[in-house]
A and B are shown apart, each in its own frame.
Chain A
Amino acid sequence: MIAFFIKRLAQAVLVMFVISLISFSIQDNLGDPLQEMVGQSVSEAERQALRDELGLNDPFLVQYGRFVKNALQGDLGTSYFFKEPALEVILNKLPATLELVFGASLIIIGLSVPLGVYSAINPHSWFSKVVMGISIVGISVPVFLTAIGLIYFFSIEMGLMPSYGRGDTVEVLGLETSLLTADGWSHLVLPAVSLASIMLPLFIRLIRAEMMEVLQSEYVKFAWAKGLMTRRIYFLHALKNTMLPVITVGGVQIGTMVAYTILTETVFQWPGMGFLFLEAVNRVDTPLIVAYLIVVGAIFVITNTIVDLIYGLVNPTVKLAGKK
């Protein structure tokens, strides 16, 4: 177990190094931050002075070296716009984004397993066909369209749900959360549904396909031949094997979902990291952009490590390195 973590840590360091190099090297191509920071009235000489002060005229490697040195001390630069440490700005918005991802994950897990299993067991029933049909639509419609559609129907036409913002929040252990207020939940529903709208059909189809394959396997036939209860065959023998590839894909998709939050948060004005990132791009706030990319990269690495741990628990043929 310890060896697994050390190996994982080494990999994570390498991954983070690559992410930082890439995100740092694209910042020169995002536009001129000076343009946004100072107005038209500032003279060219003053601009140059400011550039020197910010270190923007140094060679790339010098700039990058300085960045890495600071980053190792937890300093990812100072946001040009907020005039605050970029990491702090991002982390303040992180809980909101995680709430959104959490809400969407709840929807995905809660619906994809029963629907996928049902439609694998009864592939010819009309309900399965309807589920499969809707899932194709869900995969095909882009998130921002789903989001706008949801706002139109549920907020504007029916007036059931608020159309933007995060609602009331409460502070728990120094973190603001909307998960503990009814108003917070009502604000969360629509964004979470629209964020789930792409992944949910994908998971239903994945679970269905895997389950159908597993149901054809010899060990499931053998389970029938042993005279076991139908329930046990479907939900223990078949489902446990079905979940193995689903867990793997799920781990990657959680990371992807964090990326999708950019769209959802923008449409719903959800005050999370994604919304912040888009604003940062508009303002050419390069330190903030770089910090965002690094934080998202770290989330990817962490979730994948957790998923690997879970996978090791479910699949006995996988031994985590060093575990005996």
Chain B
Amino acid sequence: MALLEVKNLEVSFGLRSGAVKALRNISFSLERGERLGLVGESGAGKSVLGFSILNLISKPGRISGGEIWFDGKNLADLSAKELRDVRGNRISMIFQDPMMTLNPVLTIGQQMIECLKAHRKISTEDARTIAIQKLKQVYIPSPETRIDQYPHELSGGMRQRIVIAIGLLMDPDIIIADEPTTALDVTIQAEIMELMVELCDRNNVALILITHDLGVVSQVTQKAIVMYAGRIIEQGPTKEIINDAQHPYTQGLMNALPQMAIPGQRLNQIRGAMPPLQRIPVGCAFNPRCDYVMDLCTKQLPGYTASGNCKVACHMVADMKRKAEQSTDEV
């Protein structure tokens, strides 16, 4: 069985105007040591998915359906105490903005030691030794003095290293990284990404990387999931998705990369914007923006079609596959 198996996950937000589904019918799996990229526009539900794995969605959001199987337990219906044992221990998270992630009034050491003490019976001195060792692993210079400093005394890149060190403290099975480099200086982004990959590889930690940077996904991950308006519209091996995207939305994302445009020409873009969750169109949610829209797309929600090793939610892809099969039958 896979390390993490998400089945038909559904997350809704109870608003005054009624419940809004932020995630619908999410299914995927993650193997030990595997790196998975979660891509999509802002508001597609990538972060909600990341947080829902640890059941950390803030109110009024809640998991309203589906299962999250990890280590023989369904994380979607664990007690608060059982969840606490998983959080930060077996599955840890790295947040987007290191300037905001660390508590400004506590020292680095306090914030690391408390995590160790929450999950292990350990003396403060031992916890401190482990914390210093982890700081060394993320290449913090002179960790013995840094550990007693406050977050504001460190640079952004340094702080994200510390957040990564906190993520690695308990030698977790999975790290969920929510746009870990977005808030950083471009010059440091690659450095931090490399560090994460190196550490995950060395410790055989699985990584769920939430990002809208397709370049990073293609370099770092083995598997990718493309999300749109709360659903997975395409998932499969990263190479296949990058080189041979099937869904028109994924193709659009690929074309929108600056390196795809001819120098001097305008950059490509997908016309329109993603619909708000309250007003998702009937049928395929992407239909108002799709260049290949068919009659069926505005009526019926597309199911998943296998294409190569990928699964794609698109009527056109399904159509083409059916036609291809028919033609081979005729021959």
Contact = CB atoms under 8 A, between A and B. Distances in A.
B102 A219 contact: yes
B122 interface: no
B100 A217 contact: yes
B291 interface: no
Interface string A225-238: 11111101000110
A316 interface: yes
Contacts of B86: 227
Nearest to A224: B56
Interface in A195-246: 216-219, 221-230, 232, 236-237, 240-241, 244
Interface of A: 216-219, 221-230, 232, 236-237, 240-241, 244, 314-317
A132 B258 CA distance: 54
Nearest to B86: A227
B316 interface: no
A222 B83 CA distance: 14
B241 to A, nearest CB: 28
A227 B118 contact: yes
B233 to A, nearest CB: 27
A222 B104 contact: no
B92 interface: yes
Given A227-B118, A240-B105, A316-B105, A221 B89 contact: no
A236 B103 CA distance: 10
B100 A226 contact: no
30 contacts: A216-B58, A218-B97, A218-B100, A218-B101, A219-B104, A221-B95, A222-B93, A222-B95, A222-B101, A224-B56, A224-B87, A225-B87, A225-B93, A226-B114, A226-B115, A227-B88, A227-B89, A227-B115, A227-B119, A228-B88, A228-B118, A232-B118, A240-B105, A240-B106, A241-B104, A315-B104, A316-B104, A316-B105, A316-B150, A317-B152
B87 A237 contact: no
A219 B105 CA distance: 11
Contacts of B150: 316-317
Interface in B52-95: 54, 56, 58, 80, 83-89, 92-93, 95
A315 B105 CA distance: 6
A236 B58 CA distance: 20
Nearest to B90: A227
Interface string B152-174: 10000000000100100000000
Interface residues of B, number: 32
Interface in B127-147: none
A219 B93 CA distance: 12
A227 B87 contact: yes
- Closest CB pairs A-B (n = 6): A227-B87, A227-B88, A226-B88, A218-B100, A316-B150, A225-B93
Given A241-B105, A314-B105, A228 B97 contact: no
Given A216-B58, A222-B93, A226-B166, A241 B103 contact: yes
A228 B88 CA distance: 8
Contacts of A223: 103
B169 to A, nearest CB: 9
A232 B101 CA distance: 16
Contact of A225 (B56, B97, B152): B56
A134 B43 CA distance: 40
Contacts of A225: 54, 56, 87-88, 92-93, 95
A204 B114 CA distance: 29
Interface of B: 54, 56, 58, 80, 83-89, 92-93, 95-97, 100-107, 114-115, 118-119, 150, 152, 163, 166
A222 B167 CA distance: 10
Nearest to A214: B103
B58 A226 contact: no
A222 B152 CA distance: 17
Contacts of B119: 227
Nearest to A228: B118
A95 B151 CA distance: 43
Contacts of B83: 227
B87 A219 contact: no
Contact of A218 (B95, B106, B107): B95
Nearest to A218: B100
Contacts of B58: 216, 221
A244 B54 CA distance: 31
Contacts of A222: 93, 95, 101-103, 163
B152 A228 contact: no
A71 to B, nearest CB: 42
The winner among A227, A241, A244 for most chain B CB atoms within 10 A is A227
A221 B56 CA distance: 8
B56 A229 contact: no
A317 B154 CA distance: 12
Contacts of B95: 218, 221-222, 225
The winner among A225, A241, A244 for most chain B CB atoms within 10 A is A225
Contacts of A237: 103, 106
A230 B83 CA distance: 12
Contacts of B105: 240-241, 244, 314-316
A59 B54 CA distance: 78
Contacts of A230: 80
A222 B164 CA distance: 12
